[in-house]
Structure 1
Amino acid sequence: MPDFADFDTRHYRTVDVATGYDRWSSTYEDTVLDAMDLDLLDGLTRPDWAAVSRAADLGCGTGRTGAWLRGRGVPRVDGVDLSPGMLERARTRGCHSTLTRGDVRDTGLPSGAYDLVVSSLIDEHLPDLAPYYAEARRLAAPGGCCVLVAYHPQFMMVSGMPTHFTDASGEDVAISTHLHLLSDHTRAAMAAGWVLAELREAVVDDGWIAAKPKWERFRGHPVSAALVWTVPA
């Protein structure tokens, strides 16, 4: 499996996930574009969001995904995140039924209780994908789905850019970043019993370049991907 360190062109000081997102939490909403994740969710043909009665939002962050799900009629969304700072932002937003500080690989949520397990922009922080997909499978009810939005590995390789934020002093700080090919996702998910139902990729287009003019050199490159997994009913 390729190592992100072989592609890293930024060489920022790196912190662990909980520390990084705690420090990023106050400005996260200002720096992550909907085009990265929520617009991809909008374009999926499945699941039928209105048919989801209970969702597990793993790596729920500030609650953006939870708010999106509530806007599509999902009545109950349980969130889990490592960062107290991000959880506090999600709590203020008020879109989750419960919020728990925990690891997406070992959530403590009830087995077989969720029509949908969803995660957005977290997989690059996991050294190994297998525990995540196994936990998602444990949580899923028969016929349930897992939807994961990922920072695209191709963009990570071509840009050399880790997940990072600018702290209060103006320093760019990286959060521990790992590179997973789409085939790595497929192998780990299938081993856990998931079946791929849909894959969509977002590319750097006019909208992205309007927001980030320096990204003109990345025009046409995939920047994020949404994978939809299902289990038999």
Structure 2
Amino acid sequence: MVDFSLFDTRGYPTVDVRTGYAGWVDNYEQTVQDAMDVDVLARLTVPDWSAATAAVDLGCGTGRTGAWLRGRGVGAVDGVDLTPEMLARARTRGAHRTLTEGDLAATGLPTAGYDLAACSLVDEHLADLGPLYREAHRLVRPGGLFVLVGLHPAFIMAAGMPTHYDGPDGPVAITTHVHLVSDHLTAGLAAGWQLAEMREQVVGEEWIALKPKWSRHRGQPVSAAYVWRAC
């Protein structure tokens, strides 16, 4: 892990994850773009989404990823999130079989109970990736997949921008960490995963149309997706 404070150009007041997402919940879905995560998931070639009879959505938030998985043919999706306000939004969406408030490193869900674990836009909030990778490995059956997508470390460093939202008194940052690609590889391999696919998405015309100010980041990596297979 690299200390984000070395790159922070914003200096926003910073809150913990639960406080931050509780404050962001009302306009979260108007802020987060599909190009950041689910569009990257859609480009992956290894996962056969419809073959998964049961999946766990780690850091399910408002249910965006869970709804996308169900739309891809996943049979049932169980969601876990730290923030009650986010879980309440996911509940109204109705994409999940169950929703649990809990720590992603210790979900309490059944061992080897899932064909697939998914985690979207979460890893930058974790000080240590190891517990997430180990818990995902415990949850997935042998031969199953763990699919993780998040902001690319190169983008976080180049932009100097933490995950943040507009609070009533101005921008508020949520605790952000920088995990290098090698940090993911080290954590995944140590937990018993085998890397099956990786995809990096760069800032291109689609992104610049959504966020014209990002034209200065043209060609820089913005998202990274990893597909791991349980050994």
TM-score by length of 1: 0.98
2:47 match: 47
1:21 match: 21
State how 1:89-100 maps to structure 2 within 5 Å.
89-100=89-100
Regions of 4+ moved over 2 Å: none
2:154 match: 154
Q: Over residues 92-138 of structure 1, what are the superposed CA-to-partner deviations in whole Å (9 max), with x where a residue is unaligned?
A: 10000000000111111100001000000000000000000000000
Q: How far apart are residue 170 of structure 1 and its match?
A: 4.7
1:201 match: 200
1:189 match: 188
2:132 match: 132
Counterpart of 1:26, as a letter, is: D
1:34 match: 34
* Aligned mates of 2:132, 2:193 — CA distance in 1: 12
SS of 1:56 mapped into structure 2? strand
SS of 1:142 mapped into structure 2? strand
* Aligned mates of 2:165, 2:202 — CA distance in 1: 22
2:9 match: 9
In structure 2, list runs of 5 or more residues that go unmatched. none
SS of 2:128 mapped into structure 1? coil
Counterpart of 2:23, as a letter, is: R
Q: Over residues 46-94 of structure 1, what are the superposed CA-to-partner deviations in whole Å (9 max), with x where a residue is unaligned?
A: 2111100000000000000000011011111000000111101100100
Give the RMSD, CA atoms, in angstroms: 0.7
State how 1:84-233 maps to structure 2 within 5 Å.
84-167=84-167, 169-232=168-231
Q: How many residues align?
A: 231
Counterpart of 2:177, as a letter, is: H
Q: How far apart are residue 211 of structure 1 and its match?
A: 1.1
Counterpart of 1:203, as a letter, is: V
Counterpart of 1:221, as a letter, is: Q
* Aligned mates of 1:70, 1:142 — CA distance in 2: 22
* Aligned mates of 2:212, 2:74 — CA distance in 1: 36
Q: Over residues 138-194 of structure 1, what are the superposed CA-to-partner deviations in whole Å (9 max), with x where a residue is unaligned?
A: 001011100000110000010000000001x25100000011000000000100000
Q: Over residues 21-62 of structure 1, what are the superposed CA-to-partner deviations in whole Å (9 max), with x where a residue is unaligned?
A: 011011000000000000011000021111000000000000
* Aligned mates of 2:117, 2:11 — CA distance in 1: 33
* Aligned mates of 1:225, 1:2 — CA distance in 2: 17
* Aligned mates of 2:30, 2:41 — CA distance in 1: 19
* Aligned mates of 2:170, 2:99 — CA distance in 1: 30
Label 1:115 to 1:64 Cα distance change in 2 as closer, same or farther (>3 A). same
SS of 1:161 mapped into structure 2? coil
- Are the counterparts in 1 of residues 50 and 75 from structure 2 also a CA contact under 8 Å? no
* Aligned mates of 2:74, 2:133 — CA distance in 1: 22
SS of 1:26 mapped into structure 2? coil
Of stretches 202-211 and 90-99 in structure 1, the one that deviates more from structure 2 is 202-211
* Aligned mates of 1:202, 1:21 — CA distance in 2: 25
Counterpart of 1:96, as a letter, is: H
In structure 1, list runs of 5 or more residues that go unmatched. none
* Aligned mates of 2:194, 2:75 — CA distance in 1: 26
* Aligned mates of 1:218, 1:8 — CA distance in 2: 16
Q: Sequence identity, in percent?
A: 64
